[in-house]
Structure formats: C-alpha cells, structure tokens
A and B are shown apart, each in its own frame.
Chain A
C-alpha cells in the first residue's frame, strides 16, 4: 500500500513539477557541442556542431609525450585546490585516467592528495549533495583542522 502511495505521489509530482534529471553544475557553461538551426528557403537544417571551448587560451600547451603534470614539472601539494579541483567531477569524484591523461603514478598521487584536501575540508563545494558543506559542522574529530605531509604518499615520483 505504502509503495503504491509513493508511486502515485511520484507520478503526480512528475506530471505537475517536471524536473529534468540532469545534474546541475555551478561552474560556468562551457559547451563543446551546440545545436545550430539554418533556414534555406523551405528547408530547416538542424545540426549539432563542435565549438571551440571558451577557456582554450587557458589550456596549458603540452608538446611532449609526458602527462600534463609531469610535463609542467609542478610540485603539487594537497593545499593546491585550484589544480586538484580540475581532476574532479562536481560531486568530488576523481575523473578516470582516460579523461585526465595522467600517468599511473601521478593519477594515484593526485587521488591521494584529493582525499587529503577533502579531509582537511579545503574543497567543501565539490562534495556529494548530502554532505555538510561547512567543514566545522562535521562530526567528532573531523571538525578540527588537519594538515598532511606529502612525503607520506606511498607513490613516489
């Protein structure tokens, strides 16, 4: 009975409050594909075309075969949230290696450093929706400030 009730409530919600199931991202829209409509006489041509991303001038050029982190030779720490956040989805999950193009060691190192930054509460906006957004409201020992030493990471360069 309860299941039936829930189903009817959900169905009526879906009818009266149509919500798209897309994930909402707070970052700026940067479309890679765009729908373009062209009218030639009586025919309407709708085409999906690739567009150049807006932040292409910010892309770091990599002319070597090394991965982007090795090529730049950066000494990344767990407090460098502007670098670490590039390897994350909006819910704080690490992107796979086929997207990040990192080598195996760097992928492991970055994922450990992301865990460090999350434990230190430095990226509270990149978290699952159910998380407490303010690190000071976390439970028990987790609410106090913590820092980490990168020398303790198992995977060395």
Chain B
C-alpha cells in the first residue's frame, strides 16, 4: 500500500472535526446541513450500521436568526408529567434562558428517532459565542459553509463607501433634504 493510499485510508475512517458559524443562520435550515456531517451521510462508505459520523462544533449560537416573527410565534412544549404540568415557551424566552438550546433541539429533531440519534448528538458541540476551549479548537480541520451571508449593518459600512455608492434617487431641484 502506497503512502497516498494509506493517508486516504486514514482520511476515510478518521473522525473529522467541522466548524460551523451560526451567526445570522436559520437553525432549522442549518440543522439539515449539520446532520449530514454528524451522521456521516456525505461519505461514500456511509451505512446506518457503520459508525462513521463526524464531530461538528457550532459557534455563535446566540446570534442565530429566525425567520419573520418566529421568535414570538414558535412555541416549545414541555410537560412535567403531573396534571396541569404542560407549558409552552416562546422561542425568544427559551433563547434567553439558554442560547444553545434552540440549535440543539433543531439538530435533534432533524434526525430520525432511532438508537443512533443520541450518539450522533454527543458529537455535536454548541457554543454560544466564539470562546471555544483550546483542546476542541485544535481538532478542527474543516469549516462548513454558511447558508446565507451575514448581512452588513449600515452604520458599520465605512462612510466613504456609502457616499460613493451609485445613486438611484434624483432629488427635485427645490427639495430640502432632511
């Protein structure tokens, strides 16, 4: 076996660590992509009984973006088991308590409920900001592409660039700009 083939062999069977920046990303759409890496669905050697899932490190889970008015429309259900123990919590209240929970639940829900799901979830590491422990950061060798670009804020664009942007509106001659 040549050295190239041997390293190919290692690469195929090694557990790869992926990084995903959740800033301004939809957690429910991102979960579909993260799931592919967690379960190893993208690998040619994939088989349900083949333990070939990778690790995924999700950072900036505090800055996830929900669509439209979902922060106050989406409810998370919990039941204590006692009578009258049902509770519905709005997504923004869940996020206020625990900034990693929505991301965690989204990935958990995206996978099929079988015996492998709990083990796949153990390979998911979610952090609310960019402070990842050094021993985890050392393993990372790949970054997963974001689903949508992070939008720019107008006050963070340099004023020079704003002033030199092509103008669509032509003000009338006697218009007083406010």
Instruction: List chain A positions with a Cβ less than 8 A from chain B.
Output: 23, 25, 27-28, 30, 32-33, 50, 53, 55, 58-60, 68-69, 72, 79, 81-83, 85-87, 89-91, 95, 98-101, 120-126, 133, 140-141, 144-149, 152
Contact = CB atoms under 8 A, between A and B. Distances in A.
Contacts of B162: 82, 85
B26 A83 contact: no
B170 interface: yes
B169 A146 contact: no
A146 B68 CA distance: 6
B115 interface: no
A148 B154 contact: no
B151 A25 contact: no
Query: Interface SS of chain B: helix, strand, loop or mixed?
Result: loop
Interface residues of B, number: 41
Contacts of A95: 169
Contacts of A152: 68
Contacts of A55: 163, 167
A118 B162 CA distance: 18
Contacts of A32: 171, 173-175
A148 B68 contact: yes
Nearest to B153: A122
Contacts of B151: 79, 81, 120, 122, 147
Interface stretch (B41-49, B58-66, B121-129): B58-66
Contact of B67 (A82, A98, A126, A149): A149
B3 interface: no
B154 A121 contact: no
A100 B69 CA distance: 29
Given A122-B152, A148-B67, 19 more contacts: A33-B174, A59-B170, A60-B166, A60-B168, A82-B165, A85-B154, A87-B168, A91-B178, A99-B172, A99-B175, A121-B153, A122-B151, A126-B154, A140-B92, A144-B65, A144-B92, A145-B63, A146-B67, A149-B67
A83 B71 CA distance: 27
